[in-house]
Amino acid sequence: MVLRRLMEHRLAVFGLAMIVFLGLASAIGPMLTPFDPLFIDFRAKFAPPLTGQHILGGDELGRDLLTRLLVGGRVSLIVGLAAMTLSVTIGAIAGALAGYYGGWIDVLIMRFVDAVLSFPTIFLLLALAAFIKPNLFTITIIIGATAWMEVARIVRGQILSLREQEFVLAARSIGASNSHIIARQLLPNAVAPIVVAATLNIANAILLESYISFLGYGIQPPTASWGNMLNNAQSYFNTAPWVAIFPGVLITLAVTSFNFVGDGLRDALDPRLGKR
């Protein structure tokens, strides 16, 4: 039902197809190209696209651009997915606790959420990134740690409206514990908005990773990520503009696709929009 409605959403279908394509390409692609993403070959320095076997040309060290884009895609997509998992987990727990228990727990959690949201995310992220040793794992952690607040708000709102309903009372009357009610009764009923938020969260996480990697505090070279491939892009404009163009196009494509799917899911999961 939901799937059928999602398939009617043309942009979401495009997004989904693009995500599958990008995911498969970066998972399998690097094994199919004849190049190592770290192999330096000065003869191929700034080689234009379609030079020999370099389909998209070479970068500033003559590394194969296509191979690096594919490997970088792995990094960006993995960071996006993992950071989303983390932020949705934190957000769902925080929001559920705040919404279910109310009172001072609610005040404490939600005021903390408000306070963290007062800091622009990029500032917070960069400040944290400066303290840590940047690698795939730590970058994922800090992106997840700075992106859970919206989810917490959404989940809290859902729980608030659900907790007074009869099925919760029924569960409580047969002696179900609070944790059982939250995990088994309330959260499953709030899954639709969580799924939407999660999808949009992936898009956001990919974008954030590219920002901090571009600024030099994310994934560190020589490991490729779409963001750090643009580190010195400005100095290639005269010699090799494609080195600066392709990574950005891929980031935009990936983020747009997740946003399209999130938007489609929102429409598909919203029962009020059912009969149009």
Partner 1 sequence: MTQFLLRRLIQSVILLVIVSFIGFMILNLAPGGPLAAYALNPNMTQADRVRLAHQMGLDDPLPVQYWRWASSLARGDWGRSFRDSQPVLTIIRDRIPATLQLMVTSTVLAIILGSLIGLLGALKRYSFFDYLATIGAMIALSIPTFWFGLMMIFLFSVQLGWLPSGSMTTIGGSGSLTDRLHHLIAPTLVLSLVTVAIWSRYSRSALLDVVGQDYMRTARAKGLREWVVLRRHGFRNAILPLITLGGLQLPTLFGGALVTETVFTWPGMGRLFVDSLGYRDYPVLLGIMMVTAFLVILGNLLADLLYAVVDPRIRLN
Selected binder of partner 1 within 3, 131, 164, 188 (CB under 8 A): 131
215: contact with partner 1 by CB under 8 A: yes
Stretch that binds partner 1, among 82-90, 151-159, 170-178, 240-248 (CB under 8 A): 240-248
207: contact with partner 1 by CB under 8 A: yes
Helix pair angle (65-101, 103-118), 10° resolution: 150
Residue 152 near residue 184 (C-beta atoms within 8 A): no
Q: 148 or 214, CB closer to partner 1?
A: 214
End-to-end CA distance of the chain: 15
123: contact with partner 1 by CB under 8 A: yes
Measured distance CA(203)–CA(206) in Å, rounded: 5
255-274 binders of partner 1 (CB under 8 A): 255-256, 259-260, 263
145: contact with partner 1 by CB under 8 A: no
Which candidate, 55, 84, 82, 89, places its Cα nearest to that of 70? Answer: 55
Which candidate, 83, 88, 22, 27, places its Cα nearest to that of 255? Answer: 22
Residue 73 near residue 98 (C-beta atoms within 8 A): no
**To the nearest whole angstrom, how small is the minimum distance from the Cβ of residue 203 to partner 1?**
7
246: contact with partner 1 by CB under 8 A: no
248: contact with partner 1 by CB under 8 A: yes
45-64 binders of partner 1 (CB under 8 A): none
Q: 123 or 167, CB closer to partner 1?
A: 123
Stretch that binds partner 1, among 71-79, 110-118, 167-175, 188-196 (CB under 8 A): 110-118
Please give the residue ranges that form the binding site for partner 1 (CB under 8 A): 11, 111-112, 114-124, 126-128, 130-131, 203, 207, 210-211, 214-215, 217, 227, 230, 233-234, 237-238, 241, 244-245, 247-248, 251-252, 255-256, 259-260, 263
